[in-house]
Structure 1
Amino acid sequence: MATVKQPLLQQVLRRKPVPAMTAEAGTDTEHGELARSIGLFQLSMFGIGATIGTGIFIVLTQAVPVAGPAVIWSFVLAGTVAGLTAICYAELASAVPVSGSSYSYAYATLGEGVAMVVAACLLLEYGVSAAAVAVGWSQYLNELLDNLFGFTIPENLSQAPEAGGIFNLPAVILVGLCALLLIRGASESAKVNAAMVMIKLGVLVLFVVLGLQGWSSDNLSDFTPFGLNGITSAAGIIFFSYIGLDAVSTAGEEVKNPRRTMPLAIIISLVVVTAVYVAVAIVAVAAQPVSAFDGQEAGLAAILEDVTGSTWPATVLAAGAVVSIFSVTLVVIYGQTRILFAMGRDGMIPPLFHRVNPKTMTPVPATIIVAVVVSLLAGVLPINFLAEMTSIGTLVAFLVVSVGVMVLRRTAPDLPRGFKVPGYPVTPILSIAGCFWIIKDLRAVTIYVFLIWASVALAWYFVYGIRHSELGKAK
């Protein structure tokens, strides 16, 4: 069908009707292009698995020197900001239960051009963060191998060139294993992820239980040495430990009863993650003085070694980190393939990304391409560079979701919703304000990279997407 020419601005702002999205996804018939095999527990484990990564194992060494024992309130504050956005995600996930996360939500509320920029943000967030955590995996794997067997993988094969090595082989192996699992099937991936999440939650619970033995009220006596500014500054550092809750929204077409299951899974993930983080923070700051955190390596392991007088906790926590990072990498790569799947269906990128294997019911070509790209990033780029690239894409996606809730309330007030944001419109407005609060403290180079990346995405849209848009062909 030939594309009917529309004014350029009208093309950029055209929105995809939600009923068309849910019809493609088989939301109401339960028969879509992907297999609906993921239940509430497994989906909740997706959110928890993508969120609890290496952050909680190391963030205290950065945050406690800034806030003191009041870092406990920093975790609550960061969790509140993340929670406001998570609640907005919950409404949109129940109203637009399809693959694609913020990309699909933007397409339904703000238009095709905005959706393309949001997609670029998501691909930056998911692709780069997958590479970053894969790089971190090789470090924890070496620590675990050293503790258990007394040997490590040579630096040449476990570090990026800029970090003194030649190629980060463990990171590439990790990405390959995740890709093979995802190609096998979403249900199998969800089961493996759930098992790994339970293991890493067990490790953190072990830290809390053993760490209580070192409780000293003296360490909490000067509770707010750096005042309110210290609490808010530390919350900005901690906020990125909550990133990952949005991974739930990428699974919209593979979830049973998505209008109910998706918002519930997002809220369960938020509650569990916040509870675990706050518990770990309370025990950590009570177990050792504030001065001990500054520059402390392997923070949680060091605390347990001091409390127990033994070195075995370092081995247990290294094992927990190895499992934790595997889980994060698996869910993040999964999320990216489903965003590409939705974009391919819409004509924003080549249809190859929309191709599904009839036997496994998974987008195999998209999974292979993502694995290759992430492997190359993880193999040759240092972790610090990769980590800096994820924040801005995440925050822009969060902003769009919060705005999207308000737009959809006006444009489609009667749309079926399995969950509605409480305290509307105050909640999404506070979410937007919270995102801007975090953005203002980002480094200038991060903003510049985002602007360049967004420009590349728009260039691609005007060269390819606007001409191949399935929505445009239907006009």
Structure 2
Amino acid sequence: MEGKKKLTKELGLFDVFAISTGAMFSSGFFLLPGLASQYTGPSVFVAYLVSGLLILPAMFSMAEIATALPRAGGAYFFLDRSLGPLMGTIGGLGTYLSLVFKTAFAIIGIGAYAAIFWDVPVQLVAVAATMVFTGLNLIGAKKTSGLQNFFIIFLLVVLGGFIFEGLYTVFFTERIEGPSANEHFTPFFTNGIEGIITTAGFVFVSYLGLTKVASVAEEIKNPERNIPLGMLLSLVITSVIYFLGVFVMVALIDPKDFANELAPAATAAKQLFKWMPGQTGAYLMVGAAMAAFASTGNAGLLSSSRYPFAMARDKLFPPRFARVGKSGTPILSILFTSGLVLFLILVVSEEGIAKLASAFQLFIFMLINFSVIVFRKSNIESYDPGYKSPWYPGMQIAGIFVSLVLIVYMGWMAVIFSGIVTLLSFLWYYYYAREKVKREGAIFHWFALLGKYQYSELENEFMTILKEKGLRQGDPFDETITRARITSLEKDVEFDDLVAHVAEVFSTEMHASKETLINEFMTTSAIEPALIIPEVSILYAKSEGVDHPSLHIVLSSRGIRKPVGKGGISSEDYIRIFFFLVNPPSDSRQQLRMLSRLVDIIEREEFVEEMFDHKSHRKIKEYLLHNERFFTVRLLPQSAQFELVGKKLKEISLPPDVLVALIERDSETFAPHGDTVLEEHDALTLIGEPKSIAQLFDKYLKQ
């Protein structure tokens, strides 16, 4: 059942970029610049750039946690697993409300731009759009990544044309000599540095699309590369377009009207694209704006409605919110979220919505920065981010400080409202969820250094996530399998004697301490429950003198009785397959990744029986390697590969990322070297990158 719940990893780098960028180019560009200029005047475009710089600590922190824990739920999941369910409740509700506010803000933008062409009330259009999006979400309408990617390309082309045409008009036409001489830019800072900081906090909502990447982290391929790179590319491109685009708006729109302008991009576009017939340029900009608002509004309702759903699964919300309808959607959660959006549209002003959304997100980002410190200090080995935030912990401390300062500059209303939500979240947790939730966060592992208790199941959960993430590029798992020693036992052996024998073999081969290895093999660790598989035991050690990972596999047809002292296995169980893995002490997380890969292999159906069915060491190792990274070819007469017979291995032209790992000859298996001469009937096991392996398979084996 668990496998059916796992989300498919199908989002690539451009998908990450598109999700983040698409969510940021709606209200921030098409609705907010005029309102934001009230606080700082013409320098509003500088405030956008400052806001983009100030979000860097939160982006780096979120990227680190997302690569370590790529799980649906985003910021809520991160805060729950780092700071515990109380802060998870506060953070989850805060993030949820931030997304709801942003969704309401985006949908109001649809009404604002519709009012440019038709005499319709802004709120009425926004309410109608909300109802449409609610219906789409209830019936399970899905937005494909291809459609989203097309939308982003279209939007970037339109905005690029707007900026190019605008800059040309500002600097190279007689109508405007230049921004320095234009009255639109005088005075430049209407409220000094305080105005810039206030405005930066106000437009912070423009960068909230970064949080959506964390929400879909579980569905991203190669998250350790694509999440941080996609987020950084999105932030850089978005910041540049905001900076230049808002500059063009300031230069073209009358300062008296700009502060109250709800459709500044369209208003500016009316003065551009004179080479197009009629108002084509303005129509194009309005079309792009409404598409951006619609996409953000629909996606916002989709993503925000999943927060009550996810929290209900974790017992922080009533269980009815986790119920899924026939269409596969959380109906109650969607309806509840739509009701909140409608309430905000009808009751709160556009400016108020933006302030509250920014204040909540600043609070969440402050907690996310602190969470990185907690995870690092907790010493949980299975916390294994593929990307680590630079300049730790200074980056995180700066992010916390920046968030606090911006929240203060947002005004007392935003501070008080954030405090009210925090208080209500605390009361909700204390009176509703506290007795239902038994887990604790990583912060208790940090407190363990002070004599407090840990929540041991957190290690198991992180180990499960580690297994799902898979190996990291450069992890020598395949090489370790091909070099592995395999021992078959037909007689009865005591468990302690077996451990001592294997430790002695390792100590002889690697000059490691036998006693150290025995102690390491026999010590129970926090991740032990994640390694328990019937009839199979994985024992592992780290020791000085070990310079590369090494594996010893022991097969016992009769089984070896393993005592209770290791891993909680019943004394009645007998182990038939042992894996002894030793690693250098310098990279404990690499050992965890290799252990998680072993567990993934061992959990195959009929694993024990299939291991004993293979009669040669080559067959056993190929079974353990079995994936798209290897294949076996036998040098038989009248075959394409027979041309290799008589050649030295170093004389054979293979792709640089492919290695002949094993050769089986006359029932013996060995690792070859460059001077090994290939003989007729040799069976070669090749490992390498999937693309190169597929090419060799087509060349030698495909008929």
TM-score by length of 1: 0.79
1:393 aligned to which of 346, 360, 376 = 360
For residues 353-392 of structure 1, the C-alpha deviation after alignment (integer angstroms, 9 at most, x for no partner) is 44567x98x5533653355434543664354354443222
2:107 is equivalent to residue 134 of structure 1: yes
Residues 241-281 of structure 1: CA distance to partner in whole angstroms, max 9, x if unpaired?
A: 22221111111222223333322322222122112112213
Partner-residue secondary structure (3-state), 1:159: helix
Q: In the alignment, which of 84, 95, 105 is matched to residue 57 of structure 2?
A: 84
- What does residue 377 of structure 1 align with? 343
Does the aligned pair in 2 maintain the 1:100–1:340 contact within 8 Å?
Answer: no
Q: For the structure 1 residues 177 and 120, does the alpha-carbon distance in structure 2 shift closer, same or farther, using more than 3 Å as the test?
A: same
Aligned to 1:266: 231
Query: Which residue of 58, 63, 73 maps to 1:100?
Result: 73
Distance 1:288 1:141 in 2: 20
| In 2, Cα distance between equivalents of 1:60 and 1:168 | 20
- Please report the TM-score for the alignment, with normalisation by the length of structure 2: 0.55
1:340 aligned residue: 308
Residue pairs, 1:326-337, within 5 angstroms: 326-337=294-305
Structure 2: unaligned runs, 5 residues or longer: 172-176, 441-454, 458-703
What is the CA distance between 1:287 and its match in structure 2? 4.8
Q: Distance in 2 between matches of 1:128 and 1:238?
A: 13
The one-letter code matched in structure 2 to 1:400 is L
Alignment of 1:310-459 (within 5 A): 311-355=279-323, 363-365=329-331, 368-370=334-336, 372-374=338-340, 376-377=342-343, 380-384=346-350, 385-412=352-379, 414=381, 415-459=383-427
- The structure-2 alpha-carbon separation of the partners of 1:192 and 1:294, relative to structure 1 and needing over 3 Å to count, comes to same
How much has 1:285 moved relative to structure 2?
4.4
Give the alignment of 1:235-274 within 5 angstroms.
235-274=200-239
Of structures 1 and 2, the larger Rg is shown by 2
Aligned partner of 2:11: which letter? I
Change (3 A) 1:142 1:298: closer
Q: Does 1:159 align with 2:127?
A: no
Give RMSD over aligned pairs: 3.3
Q: 1:257 to 1:180 in 2, by over 3 A?
A: farther
Which deviations, in whole Å up to 9, do the C-alpha atoms of 1:28-50 show, x marking residues without a partner?
xxx74333333322222111112
- The Cα of 1:118 is off from its aligned counterpart by 0.8
C-alpha separation in 2, matches of 1:65 and 1:313:
27
Tell me which amino acid in the other structure corresponds to 1:321: A
- Specify the alignment match of 2:577 in structure 1: none
Name the aligned partner's letter for residue 306 of structure 2.
R
Aligned pairs, how many? 428
Shift of residue 439, structure 1, vs aligned partner: 0.5
Distance 1:184 1:59 in 2: 29
Indicate the SS of the match to 1:220: coil
| Aligned-partner Cα distance in 1 for 2:295–2:131 | 14
Alignment CA distance shift 1:238-1:445 (3 Å): closer
Offset of residue 210 of structure 1: 1.8
Instruction: Verify the 8 A CA contact 1:122 1:397 in the aligned structure 2.
Output: yes
Distance of aligned partners of 1:331 and 1:159 in 2 relative to their CA distance in 1, 3 Å threshold:
closer
Whichever structure has more strand as a proportion of its residues is: 2
- 1:57-109 superposed Cα distances (whole Å, 9 cap, x missing partner): 24333445655654443222111001221111111111121122222111222
Mapped partners of 1:127, 1:191: distance in 2:
25
- CA separation of 1:121 and 1:471: change in aligned 2, threshold 3 A: same
Question: How far did 1:461 drift?
Answer: 1.3
| Structure 2 CA distance for partners of 1:349 and 1:259, relative to 1, 3 Å | farther
Which is helix-richer, 1 or 2? 1
Deviations along 1:6-30, whole A, 9 cap, x unmatched? xxxxxxxxxxxxxxxxxx8x7xxxx
- CA separation of 1:232/1:139 partners in 2, compared to 1, >3 Å: closer, same or farther? closer
Mind listing any 5+ residue stretches in structure 1 that lack a counterpart? 1-23, 147-151, 161-166
Partner of 1:179: 137
From 139, 145, 148, give the equivalent of 1:190: 145
More deviation in 115-124 or 266-275?
266-275
- Please tell me the residue identity of whatever aligns with 2:166: G
